[in-house]
Amino acid sequence: MTTHICPITETSLEEAKQILLRGGTVAFPTETVYGLGADARSDEAVRSIYAIKGRPSDNPLIVHVHKDYALNSLVFDDMPYAKKLRDAFLPGPLTLVYRSKGAVSKIVSCGLDTLAVRVPQHEGAQRFLRYVDLPVAAPSANRSKHISPVTAQHVYGDLAGSVPLILDGGACSGGIESTVCDVTGPYPVILREGLVTREQIERVAGRCDVYHSREGEQVRSPGMKYKHYAPHCRTVLFAPDELERAVSYFSDREKNGERVLALCEHAVLQNFPKGKALDLGKNGEEFAANLYVLLHEAEERCDELIAVEPAERGGVMAGVLNRLRKACGAKQ
Ligand code: TXA
Ligand code: MG
């Protein structure tokens, strides 16, 4: 199969619609990462997403809809705080997990009685979802366990030959995946941290917990139990107070003749040789926006990436550190 990267125009949107109606897949941009979309109502189409990604069959998918889509045709929207969250954050990088009405393929939710729904705010995503006017099941458009794509070229790098059309909406501004929040209980529970923070949700809903699975317990967001987001190069991660160790580790590796790069926040960049450190930026939002771009760059340019955690905590850092730690494996 040939893979075309196309700007978002009437012609490419019509092509996207025809592909989806035939049970095929289309990659599209959102403000978080690119998604690999298929018609959520079709078992066969949804199955092909799992096949293309090599995704475990017990990891459910998010359904994407445009902002005027009738949510109550898909889910039971019975928690008053959920409406408040929608008014405050949607369209945007927040996915809400509701009790499902069973209107889409059971394979989307892997047999769970819930359904995750997201209304992205990216203009290209809205145009695409409005044009096709379908519930679009879409995971991130990468092979399972690889880093999520934040440009059309990243999608192409991972999925060329497996997807006929990549709608190119430029680089994703947010940079890490949406916050996934369960709204089936008496108060919201975050299943995956992301760009909408626990503090922001708490302010709107009065209370918000973050779910952490305990050993032996059935996980509530199956995706979180898998190793994720890893670049192809080797990686090590140092805590902010281990900068000195990171610097000497870096120079030891370099002396050994290895191709190494550092990944760190702007404030400590000058500790590494010029041109050998990737700049994550100056605050949480910048770290999020830059993280996957730089991880993709690292795997092209080095054999080992030596990452130092930014020192900032709170807010979007929960999501940033979750992704950075998953990408860079265990701490050194
Ligand atoms: O920003 C995003 O959310 C991107 C863009 C494309 O929208 N999508 C994305 O999808 O990150 P994916 O498949 O890579 O991650 C979906 C996450 C997984 O952790 C999955 O377990 C969880 O959402 N999830 C989906 N449906 C669920 C459900 N019914 N209950 C609990 N967790 C669910
Ligand atoms: Mg993913």
3-state SS string over 136-181? Answer: EECCECCCCCCCCCCCHHHHHHHHCCCCCEEEECCCCCCCCCCEEE
What is d(CA 332, CA 62) in angstroms, rounded to the nearest whole number?
Answer: 34
Give the end of a domain, one of 134, 156, 178: 178
Mutation test of ligand 1: which of 195, 221, 226, 291 has the most ligand atoms closer than 8 Å to its C-beta?
A: 221
Q: Is residue 280's pLDDT more than 80?
A: yes
Across the range 199-215, mean pLDDT stands at 91
What residues pair up with 118 in beta bridges, in sequence order? 64, 95
Per-residue pLDDT, 73:
98
CB of 30 within 6 A of ligand 1: the answer is: yes
Across the range 156-185, mean pLDDT stands at 97
What is d(CA 40, CA 228) in angstroms, rounded to the nearest whole number?
Answer: 24
pLDDT (tens digit, 9 = 90+) per residue, 232-259? 999 999 999 999 999 999 999 999 999 9
The dihedral over CA atoms of 39, 127, 12, 177, expressed in degrees to the nearest 10, equals: -60
Mutation test of ligand 1: which of 75, 95, 108, 147 has the most ligand atoms closer than 8 Å to its C-beta?
A: 95
Find the ligand nearest to 189 CA. 1
Same domain? 23 vs 154: yes
Pick from 151, 175, 195: nearest CA to 32: 175
pTM as predicted: 0.95
28: three-class secondary structure by DSSP: strand
Question: What's the CATH code of the domain at 300?
Answer: 3.40.50.11030
What is d(CA 61, CA 88) in angstroms, rounded to the nearest whole number?
Answer: 23
Residues of the domain holding 126:
4-178
Total domains in the fold of the chain:
2
What is d(CA 288, CA 235) in angstroms, rounded to the nearest whole number?
Answer: 18
Q: Which residue has the tokens 């490419």?
A: 12
Per-residue pLDDT, 230:
86
Same domain? 40 vs 115: yes
Same domain? 164 vs 243: no
Interval between CA 176 and ligand 2 midpoint (Å): 10
Question: How is residue 26 written in tokens?
Answer: 């289309």
Question: What's the CATH code of the domain at 114?
Answer: 3.90.870.10
Q: Are 286 and 243 in contact (CB under 8 A)?
A: no
The reply to whether 54 falls in a domain is yes
Give the end of a domain, one of 162, 178, 194: 178
Same domain? 21 vs 165: yes
Across the range 283-287, mean pLDDT stands at 98
What is d(CA 84, CA 280) in angstroms, rounded to the nearest whole number?
Answer: 33
Atom of ligand 1 nearest to the CA of 64: 7
Interval between CA 214 and ligand 2 midpoint (Å): 22
- Annotate 214-261 with DSSP letters as a single string: PTTSPPSSGGGGS-----SSEEEEE-GGGHHHHHHHHHHHHHTT--EE
The reply to whether 200 falls in a domain is no
Per-residue pLDDT, 214:
64
The reply to whether 112 falls in a domain is yes
CB of 62 within 6 A of ligand 1: the answer is: yes
Same domain? 294 vs 149: no
The reply to whether 199 falls in a domain is no
pLDDT (tens digit, 9 = 90+) per residue, 3-15? 999 999 999 999 9
Provide the 8-state DSSP code for 213.
P
Across the range 277-294, mean pLDDT stands at 98
pLDDT (tens digit, 9 = 90+) per residue, 23-64? 999 999 999 999 999 999 999 999 999 999 999 999 999 999
Average pLDDT, the chain: 94
Same domain? 238 vs 172: no
CA 69 to chain centre: 22
